[in-house]
């Protein structure tokens, strides 16, 4: 536990050297984003707290909530989580979680996680990233635009699977169910193989803003997993060692693009 905490601080100071202290992303990466009738019904989910483009790991605690919304049913999956150690691109190990889920019915499955508040010493703030990913089961394209009802949430306006590289993706940023005008959205590619060359630090995290209706737009330039993190400050503060600090609430959504071959 203590070692993990030290490793976390080291991980984030590395991020600071690279100039991207804020680019933490909660992640839920499924083994498949579209499961056909002919495929295995099993989906493996990887839960990480990471700097996805730089491949810098951080350790995460067991989440406060983890579940799936499908066909109008909200199912608690917290007890299915298994802790494991995930190696980052530098070869350091960090606490992560995985889960396995068997798809039973056709339709869209919205997997979501609410992590425990993470104290970030470098920012003197708590971070809570409410994170979603959508898996389509057996071709029935229904449910991807449902709201889970998280404190903050990106609701997709573009169907979040079956996306080509270079497609434009749009979503609306909500806090307490209401769109947030001009909300800041950070975008990162999950550079899991470490093969993306970064000409300057500004390429690590793309920064965009939602419009007056809370709608953001981004075109994803290559195949793989892309994370969108809409960041806002909670109206409540949290206490750390007797002092109150701000809480960054992030609405994170992961989508996968595929190259046209």
| Residue ranges binding Cu ion (CB under 5 A) | 12, 15, 24, 58
- CB-wise, 12 or 187, nearer to Cu ion? 12
Least distance to Cu ion, CB of residue 14, Å: 9
Angstrom CA distances, 168 to 147, 157, 184, 219, stand at: 21, 11, 18, 4
- CB-wise, 25 or 218, nearer to Cu ion? 25
Least distance to Cu ion, CB of residue 21, Å: 7
9 phi and psi angles, rounded to 5 deg: -65, -45
Q: For strands 125-137 and 118-120, give the pairing.
A: antiparallel
Least distance to Cu ion, CB of residue 22, Å: 8
Give the residue among 9, 27, 4, 242 at the shortest CA–CA distance from 133.
27
Least distance to Cu ion, CB of residue 24, Å: 4
- CB-wise, 12 or 173, nearer to Cu ion? 12
> Where is 94: in which H helix or E strand?
strand 93-102
Residue 136 tokens, joined: 């389509």
- The residue nearest Cu ion at its CB is 12
- CB-wise, 12 or 69, nearer to Cu ion? 12
- CB-wise, 24 or 109, nearer to Cu ion? 24
Least distance to Cu ion, CB of residue 18, Å: 11
Least distance to Cu ion, CB of residue 15, Å: 5
Give the residue among 85, 79, 171 at the shortest CA–CA distance from 134.
171
Give the residue among 72, 71, 98, 94 at the shortest CA–CA distance from 83.
98
With beta carbons less than 8 A apart as the criterion, state whether 25 and 227 touch: yes
Q: Round to whole Å and give the CA distance between 191 and 54.
A: 7
> Where is 4: in which H helix or E strand?
helix 2-17
- CB-wise, 57 or 107, nearer to Cu ion? 57
């Amino acid at each position: 536990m203590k070692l993990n905490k030290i490793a976390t601080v080291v991980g984030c100071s590395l991020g600071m050297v690279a100039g991207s202290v804020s680019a933490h992303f909660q992640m839920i990466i499924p083994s498949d984003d579209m499961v056909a009738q002919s495929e295995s019904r099993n989906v493996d989910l990887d839960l990480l707290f990471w700097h996805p483009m730089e491949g810098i790991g951080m350790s995460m605690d067991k989440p406060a909530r983890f579940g799936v919304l499908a066909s109008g049913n909200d199912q608690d999956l917290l007890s299915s989580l298994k802790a494991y150690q995930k190696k980052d691109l530098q070869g350091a190990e960090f606490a992560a979680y995985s889960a396995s889920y068997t798809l039973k019915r056709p339709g869209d499955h919205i997997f979501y996680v609410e992590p425990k508040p993470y104290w970030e010493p470098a920012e003197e703030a708590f971070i809570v990233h409410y994170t979603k990913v959508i898996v389509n089961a057996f071709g029935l394209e229904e449910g991807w635009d449902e709201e889970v009802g998280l404190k903050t949430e990106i609701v997709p306006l573009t169907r979040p699977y079956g996306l080509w590289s270079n497609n434009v993706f749009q979503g609306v940023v909500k806090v307490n169910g209401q769109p947030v005008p001009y909300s800041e959205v950070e975008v990162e590619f999950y550079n899991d193989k470490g093969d993306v060359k970064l000409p300057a630090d500004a390429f690590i995290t793309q920064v965009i803003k939602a419009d007056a209706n809370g709608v953001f737009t981004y075109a994803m330039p290559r195949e793989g997993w892309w994370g969108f993190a809409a960041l806002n400050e909670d109206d409540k503060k949290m206490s750390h060692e007797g002092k109150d600090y701000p809480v960054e609430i992030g609405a994170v959504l992961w989508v996968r693009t595929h190259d046209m071959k």
